[in-house]
Amino acid sequence: MRVIATPDATPTPAAPAPPTSLSVFLQIGRQVKKTTIELPTSLSNIKLSFMERFEYDPGKEDFPEVYIRDPRTGVQFELEDIDDLREGTVLSLNIEREFSLHRPFILLMSSS
């Protein structure tokens, strides 16, 4: 007698379609704005989102680095791989040094 294996009758579930966009948070200083990024995207498109949402213009300076916040640890690091983007990701610009250069220095003196 010959035994023939029959295929499993249960259908294999189809893989979910990859997302076509992501909702992310853009942060400059203390200001945070939510935006949608269409996929696939590039670092240039992300920088453009900062410029549009915040009316940010780096002027003649080089555009600051874009940082991403790791949701588990809270550590921010330079965004180098677009595949690190996830729904709800927080992206920020590394511009602290620019803010510190333009803040007025105020000296408070006590009268003693």
pLDDT tens digits for range 7-31: 666 667 788 888 899 999 999 999 9
State the average pLDDT for the chain.
Answer: 83
pLDDT at 98 over 70: no
Cis peptide before 40 (omega within 30 of 0): yes
pLDDT over 70 for what percent of the chain? 75
pLDDT tens digits for range 37-66: 999 999 999 999 999 999 999 888 789 999
State the DSSP string of the chain.
----PPPPSSPPPPPPPPPSEEEEEEEETTEEEEEEEESS--HHHHHHHHHHHHT---TTSPPPPEEEE-TTT--EEE---GGG--TT-EEEE--HHHHHHHSPP-------
Q: pTM of whole model > 0.85?
A: no
